[in-house]
Structure 1
Amino acid sequence: MVEVFQKYLADKMPLSDADWAVIERVCIIKKLRKNQYLLQEGDVWRYHAFVCKGCLRRYSIDAKGIEHILQFSCENWWTGDRDSLMNKTPSKYNIDAIEDSSVLVIRNEDFEMLCQQLPAFNNLINQILFRSLNASQERINSTISLTAEEKYLHFINTFPLLANRVPRHMIASYLGITPETLSRIKGNLSKNKQ
C-alpha cells in the first residue's frame, strides 16, 4: 500500500529516491475492517492519515444519539482531527471505515520532520491545507444557503463516485437532512427526468 502513497506524492511533487526513502521509513499501514475505528471520540489524535484503499467517514454523535458526518475520505484523500492533533486534546469525532480499508499513517513528530527536511513535501502539505480550508468554507456556505435538494445535487456533482459508494443514510447525515427527505428528493428528481 505504500506504493499508492508514493505514486500520489510523485504525481504532485518532485520525488527523488532519497526523498522517498526518508518518507517511507516513517509510514505505517493500518488495515481496517468495515466499521472498525481509526479514531474514537475521547482519544487524542496523533497522526496524519492518508487513505490508500477504501472509504472512511469522520463524524460526531450528538446528545440524542444522532450521527453528524463531517467528511468522507476515499482513496488518495487525507483524514484526521486537526484540532485534537494541534491542541493535544481529546477528539470530539469518530473516524471509522465504511468498507474494508488501508490507511497510511505518519506520527505527527515524523510528519513535522518531513516538512522540515523536504521543502517540496512541505509545499504540497500547505497546498492541501489551503484546499481543505476552501472546501470547508464552501461546505459551510452550502449548508447554510442551499435547500435540501440543492445540497444533494451539489453533493452528487462534487462527489459523483461517492453517491453510489456510500449508504444513503450516511449521505443524508452528511447533508444534514433525514433519510426520508433524501428519499423524497431522489424520487422527485427521478420523476422530473421522465
Structure 2
Amino acid sequence: MNITPLLNSISKYVSLTDKEIEYLESKVFIRKYLKGQYVVQQGDVCKYECYVLSGCTKTFYVDQEGQEHIIMFSIEDWWTSDMGSFISQTPADFNVQCLENSELIMISHDVVDDLYREIPKLERFFRKIVERAFVASQKRIVRNFSLTAKEQYLYFREQYPLIEQRIPQYMIASYLGITKEFLSKIKSQLILEQ
C-alpha cells in the first residue's frame, strides 16, 4: 500500500517517526471507486475521512425539489467527506460522488481516536486541515455575497485551473450558484473582452 502522497501532506505540518508511519499505515486502507460511485450519500452516516490519491469528487446537496447544489470539488492531495456527519456520526447532509475513477485513502471514524492517542501529532495535523477548510468556507460565503457571478467565475478559474479542465461546465455553474446558460454568457463575454 502506497500512502506516500498522504505522508508528504502530513509532513508539511508535522514529522512522523518510522514507527508512527508504520502505525498509521496499519490503520488506513485504500479503496478504488468508479466514476459515478458514491463515497457518502445524503442521509447515511459518514464513516470515513478520505484523502484523494487520484481522481476527482464532488460534494453536493440535493434540495427538496431535486435540485443539486455543489459545495466543493476535491482532486489529488485534497480531503473529502461530510465532515459534520463524520464528526457527529449523524446522517449526512451531503453526497460525495466520484466524477472520475478515483483512489482514496480511507480513515475510519472507529480508528481516529486510536490514531490521535498513538500519534498525538496527527491531532495537530487534522486541526490545521480543518482550520484551513473552515477559513476557505467562510471566504467563499463572503465572495458569494460580494462578487458578481463573473467575478466569482474568474476567481474559480484562477484558483482551481486543474479542476476546471476536468469537470463539465454545468457543474461549475452549480458550484457558482448560476445556470449553465448564464455561465456560457459570462464565458462568451470574456472571450470578446480579450
Quickly name the TM-score band, shorter chain normalised: over 0.9
Aligned to 1:117: 118
- Offset at residue 175 of structure 1 (A): 0.5
d(CA) in 2 for partners of 1:39, 1:133: 20
Q: What is the aligned residue count?
A: 193
**Could you say what secondary structure the match of 1:60 adopts?**
strand
**Could you say what secondary structure the match of 1:125 adopts?**
helix
Aligned to 1:34: 35
**Could you say what secondary structure the match of 2:25 adopts?**
helix
**Could you say what secondary structure the match of 1:169 adopts?**
helix
Q: After superposition, what is the alpha-carbon deviation per residue over 1:1-55, rounded to whole angstroms, capped at 9, x for unaligned?
A: 4232233323442122101011000111111111111011111012111111010
Aligned to 1:174: 175
Aligned to 2:100: 99
5+ residue gaps, structure 1: none
Q: TM-score, normalised by structure 2?
A: 0.94
Aligned to 1:136: 137
d(CA) in 2 for partners of 1:10, 1:147: 38
Aligned to 1:43: 44
**Could you say what secondary structure the match of 1:165 adopts?**
coil
CA contact (8 A) 1:48 1:111 kept: no
d(CA) in 2 for partners of 1:96, 1:109: 22
d(CA) in 1 for partners of 2:12, 2:19: 17
Q: After superposition, what is the alpha-carbon deviation per residue over 1:118-165, rounded to whole angstroms, capped at 9, x for unaligned?
A: 232221111111111100100111112111101101111111211111
- What is the aligned-residue identity percentage? 37
d(CA) in 2 for partners of 1:146, 1:11: 32
Letter in 2 for 1:26: K
Aligned to 1:189: 190
With 172-181 and 121-130 compared, the bigger mean Cα shift is at 121-130
With 54-63 and 2-11 compared, the bigger mean Cα shift is at 2-11
Deviant stretches of 4+, over 3 Å: none
d(CA) in 2 for partners of 1:7, 1:150: 34
d(CA) in 1 for partners of 2:125, 2:4: 18
CA contact (8 A) 1:2 1:27 kept: no
Aligned to 1:154: 155
d(CA) in 1 for partners of 2:123, 2:117: 7
d(CA) in 2 for partners of 1:133, 1:11: 19
- Aligned positions of 1:56-71 closer than 5 A: 56-71=57-72
5+ residue gaps, structure 2: none
CA contact (8 A) 1:50 1:76 kept: yes
1:17 pairs with 2:22: no
